[in-house]
């Protein structure tokens, strides 16, 4: 993976443009931020070079052309967003509600799952067959991981499939509608969401760790660019 997407990248190659060092990770981080903030049409070599403060020619140290950069962005998006959901769905839990709360961590911490980036890729996929294929693959992988989570806790095949889809599609719809509410309001409703999704009333123990985690990340920005406001 690249360097942190929210922090200045660290040079790792020694290739330079003039007196300014820009690594492949710098270009990828800047391009991911541009994609998430402005959409794929704004991911241009000239625009990125201006943001990085380097010449356009330095781009070609690392990428053959813009298409190669866009391919790399899809890989980075899958590594960040899809891998996080798969990992959280497989995390150890004492109950199904705690397991669902592990997945919910993706929805409250943009450092492991970026809603802005996910939405940008979905918009991109409307006009790109390659992005559409990547999106379809990722959606299938994510729902399969959540389905397997339900199966671990004894849900029958069809029941696990439907609950996984309801959980995942509801959250994607939440982002698509751009619903904004304070974290405390979301947490107040979380026990009701859990019971609707699992059929089991959550305990205080099910909620305790997630509540603390959600509050800790409540103010984290989603894909700001270095020096830019959210």
Taking only the tens place, the pLDDT of each residue in 173-183 is 888 888 888 99
Write the CA distances from 59 to 38, 56, 190, integer angstroms.
20, 6, 45
* Lookup result for tokens 């330095």: 58
Tell me the per-residue pLDDT of 81-117, one tens digit each, with 9 for 90 and over.
Answer: 999 999 999 999 999 999 999 999 999 999 999 999 9
Which residue ranges in the chain fall short of pLDDT 70? 1-20, 224-230
Q: Give residue 189's pLDDT.
A: 95
Q: Give residue 174's pLDDT.
A: 87
Provide the token pair at 94.
């004492």
What's the predicted TM-score (pTM) here? 0.85
> What's the rounded Cα separation, in Å, for the pair 43 and 111?
21
Q: Give residue 228's pLDDT.
A: 36
Q: Which residues, other chains included, contact 22 with Cβ-Cβ below 8 Å and sequence gap of 6+?
A: 11, 15, 16, 52, 54, 58
Write the CA distances from 77 to 72, 121, 227, integer angstroms.
9, 8, 22
What own/partner pairs with CB < 8 Å and gap ≥ 24 does 129-135 have?
Answer: 130/70, 130/71, 130/74, 131/40, 131/74, 134/74, 134/77, 134/78
Q: Give residue 181's pLDDT.
A: 87
Q: Which residues, other chains included, contact 154 with Cβ-Cβ below 8 Å and sequence gap of 6+?
A: none
Q: Which residues, other chains included, contact 33 with Cβ-Cβ below 8 Å and sequence gap of 6+?
A: 5, 223, 224, 225, 226, 228
**Helix locations, the chain, DSSP H:** 24-38, 45-52, 66-77, 83-90, 96-108, 115-125, 129-152, 157-176, 183-198, 204-216
């Amino acid at each position: 993976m690249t360097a942190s997407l929210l922090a200045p990248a660290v040079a790792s190659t020694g290739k330079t443009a003039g007196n300014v060092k820009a690594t492949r990770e710098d270009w990828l981080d800047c391009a991911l931020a541009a994609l998430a903030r402005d959409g794929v049409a704004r991911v241009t070599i000239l625009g990125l070079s201006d943001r990085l403060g380097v010449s356009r020619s330095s781009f070609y140290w690392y990428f053959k052309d813009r298409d190669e950069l866009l391919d790399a962005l899809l890989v980075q998006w899958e590594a960040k967003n899809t891998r996080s959901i798969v990992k959280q769905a497989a995390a150890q839990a004492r109950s199904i509600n705690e397991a669902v709360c592990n997945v919910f961590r993706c929805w409250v911490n943009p450092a492991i799952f970026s809603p802005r980036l996910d939405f940008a890729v979905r918009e991109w996929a409307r006009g790109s067959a390659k992005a559409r294929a990547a999106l379809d693959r990722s959606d299938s992988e994510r729902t399969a991981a959540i389905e397997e989570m339900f199966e671990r806790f004894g849900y029958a095949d069809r029941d696990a499939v439907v609950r996984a889809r309801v959980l995942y599609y509801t959250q994607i719809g939440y982002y698509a509608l751009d619903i904004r509410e304070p974290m405390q309001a979301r947490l107040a409703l979380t026990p009701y969401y859990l019971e609707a999704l699992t059929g089991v009333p959550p305990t205080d123990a099910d909620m305790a760790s997630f509540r603390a985690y959600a509050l800790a990340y409540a103010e984290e920005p989603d894909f700001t660019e270095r020096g830019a406001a959210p």
